[in-house]
Structure 1
Amino acid sequence: MTAGQLTSRPAPVAPARLPFVVYVLAVGTFLMLTTEFVVAGLLPEIAGDLGVGVGRAGLLITVFAVGMIVGAPAMALLTRRVPRRVTLMAALAVFAAGHVVVALGSSFPLLLGARFVTAWATGAFWAVASVVATRAAGPAASSRALGLVGAGGMLANVVGVPLGAFAGQLSGWRGPFWALAALALAAIPLIARHVRREQEDQQPVPLRTELAAVRSRRLWLVLAACATTTGGVLSVYSYVSPLLTDRAGIAAGLVPLVLVGFGAGSLVGTVVGGRLGDAHPHATTVVVAAVTTLVLLALCLLSGRAVPAVALVGLLGLVGLSANPVLSALAVRSAGVAPTLGVAMSVSAYNLGTAVGSGTAGATLGTGLGAVGPVVVGTAVAALTLVPTTALALAGRRRSPGPALSPARAPG
C-alpha cells in the first residue's frame, strides 16, 4: 500500500440505516434467485406439458447456471461504458421479456434459449447491483449492504420458490413466469428513481486497465473462496432430500419444512454475516469456513438420526453462506478500478462452484456411500475454503493499518 492510496481523513463510520436503494436492489435479487430455483418445483408440470422427460426438463436449470457463469463477466465488459442505472433497467427489461417467452412458448429449445438469455440479464443485474449497493452504503457498510442484497436472494428460497411452486399447481406452471415478468417491469421505475448519479463511475476506465486490475492475486483468492464455499454447501443442499428420507428416515412430506428451515437460516446468516464482515472481514470468512466444515462433518456422522440431522441442516443454512456478502465486498475491493467486473467474476465463481460441487456430489449417490456421499463431498470442498481465506487473512495482517479505503480505490 502506498502513501498516495491513504486519505488523511478518519475512517468512515457505518450509517445507522442503509440507503433505500439497497432495499430496492434486494427486491431485484429476490426476483433473480426466485427464477433460478423455481423451475425445480415445477419440473413435473413443465415436462408433462412439453412432452419431455423430467431429466431433460431439468436442463432448464442447468442452462441457467451456465448462462450465469459466462454471462456475468461478459455483460460486465459489454456494459462497462453504460450508466449503471441504465444497465439495471435494461437487465430487468430483458429478464421480463425472457419470462414472457417462457410463459408463451411451447418449444423446448425455445425455452432453453430464453432461460439462457435471462441468465445473462440476471448476471448483469447481480454484478451491477452489488457495486451500486457498496457505493450507496459507503466503504464502512459495504458488507452490510451486500448482506441485505444477498438476503433478497435468500428470501427467494424461503418465500419465492415455495410460492412459485404452489402457484404453479393452482394456475399451471406458466403462471409464476407471468408473475415474475410483471414484478420485474414494476421494479424498473424504482431503479430509475432511486439509483442516483453519485453511484455511477466518474469516468470510464480503459478496457486494458480493467483487465489488468482483475489479475490481482487477492481477487483470485477471493474467487477461489467463492467457488468452494458455495460448492461445499449447495452440493449437500441439492441432495438433502434423499439424505433426510433414506438416511435419517424422515417422511417425504416433512422435507419441505426442513428446506424452509435451511432457507430461513440462510436469510438470517447472510444479514448477520454482512454486519460482522464490515468490522472483521477476514476473521469472518475464516471462522465461517471452519464452522461450516465442522457442521458438515457432524452431518456425515449423525445423518442416520432424524433430530440431529434436521438441526444440522438448519445450522448449515445459518452458517454456510453467511460469508458470501463479505466475499462479494472483498471482490469489489480487490478488483480495484474494475469493481463491476470483479463482482461479476465472483458471481461466476459462485455458480461454477455450485455446478461442479453438485455434479460431483450427484455422482457419489451410486457408490457405496449412497445418500451420505454428497455430504462427504461437501465437507471436503468446504474444508478447501480455509486455504484461500487463511491466505487472505495473512495477507491482510501484513498490510499496515490505516484508514478505510473506498471500494473503488482499494488496491489489488
Structure 2
Amino acid sequence: MAHFVVVGAGQAGASLVAKLRSEGFDGEITLIGAEPVPPYQRPPLSKAYLLGEMEESRLYLRPANWYEDNRVALRTGTRVTGIDRAARTLELEAGETLGYDALALTTGAHPRTLPASIGGALDGVYCMRDLADADTMAPEFAEGARLLVIGGGYIGLEAAAVAAKKGLSVTLVEMAPRILQRVAAEATSDFFRALHRDHGVDIREGVGLDHLTGTERVTGAVLTDGASVEVDFVIVGVGIAPAGILAESAGLAMDNGIATDAHGRTSDPHIWAAGDCASFPYKGHRIRLESVGNAIDMAETVAQNMMGGKVDYEAKPWFWSDQYDCKLQIGGLNMGYDAVHTRRGEGAGVSHWYYLGDQLLAVDAMNDPRSYMIGKRLIEMGKSPAPEVITDPDTNMKALLKG
C-alpha cells in the first residue's frame, strides 16, 4: 500500500491530505507538523484572535477527530531534519526514520527577523507568524502601552490596527517612501495611510530602524533620521521568506522557494511542493504566492497529480486584509502595471483598477465587495473593459461579465 507523506501542517498541508482522501486515495497518509497543535488558520492571528474575538479552537481547520476518522496520521510537534531521496526516507528530529512513496513539502514560510546586532534579540521584540507568537505577545496589548511596528506591509498594518483599537499608542515606521509600496499602488497606500492616521497611528515613511535600545528588554528605538522613540514592545513585520532549508539541503532545485513545474512537482519526481514555500510557472514568469487561496488551490492540484493526474496549476490570485472596519479585497496580480484607475462604489467603498496598456491586471477594493467580485471574474475570464467604462459611475458592472 502506497504511503504519502506531507511535511508541513498548515493550510496547504491540511488541504492536500483532505483532497487526497476526497479524490479516493486509499493508501497511508502521514501529515507532519512542527507545531504542537493541529492545522489552523493563520490570518485571524493578527486580527480577530489577537483582539480576543476568536478562541483557539475556532482557528482549527478541522475537528481533531477528522484526521483519525479519515485515516490521516497527524504527527504534531515533530520536526523533519533531513530527506534521503535515494532511499525515499525522512529523518526525524528524535532519530526516527520514516519511509515514503511520494512526499509533499508544504513547509510554508518564516518571518524575517531583526539582526541581534541592532537589538533583534531583546525581550519584547516579536514577529507575527504562528499561534505561539500571538499567544506570547497578547499580554503586551494593554491600553496605553507604546508599540513600535517596523514595516508598513499588510502584517504590520494589521498589527497596528489591532493595537490602536485596543487603545495602545502606536508608531509605525516604513523605510520605503510609502507604506504598501511593494504590493499596492500609491492610491491604495494613500487610503490606508489616512485610515490609520484617523485612528491615531503615527506613520513615518521613508524612515527605517537604526537600532533598538535596552539592556535585556527593549525600551526604545533610534530611527534612521535620528529620532528616538520610547517603546514598551516592538512588532517586526518586514516580510517572510520561503521555508526551503529542508528542500535545499536535500538538493532540490530552488528558485525563490522550492521550484516546481506546472504540476507542482519538484526536481525530484517523487517530491512535490505547494503553498508559500513553492514557486511555479505563471504567464511566462516564475512566481511564489503568499496567500490562503494559493495554499488551498495549489495543494489540491498537487494532491490530484500525486495520484497520477496531469493537472496544470492555474493560479487565480486573490488576497484580503482586515483593518479597523475596512475590508480590503484584491483580485489578480498587479505585476508591471502602468496605470491605475479609481471607481467609487456604494457608500464609502472605492476600488483601484490596475492596467498594463489596455489589459486589466488586478483590482484593490476597499469596502466594495461588488467591484472585487466582478473585477476578479473579469480577470479570470480574460476580459479587460476600457478604463473609462470602469470609472463611469453609471456602468452596469455586472453586465460587463456578459459583454
TM-score exceeds 0.5: no
Indicate the structure whose relative CO is greater, using CA pairs within 8 Å and at least 6 residues apart: 1
The structure with the largest helix share of the pair is: 1
State TM-score, norm by structure 2: 0.24
Larger radius of gyration: 2
State TM-score, norm by structure 1: 0.24
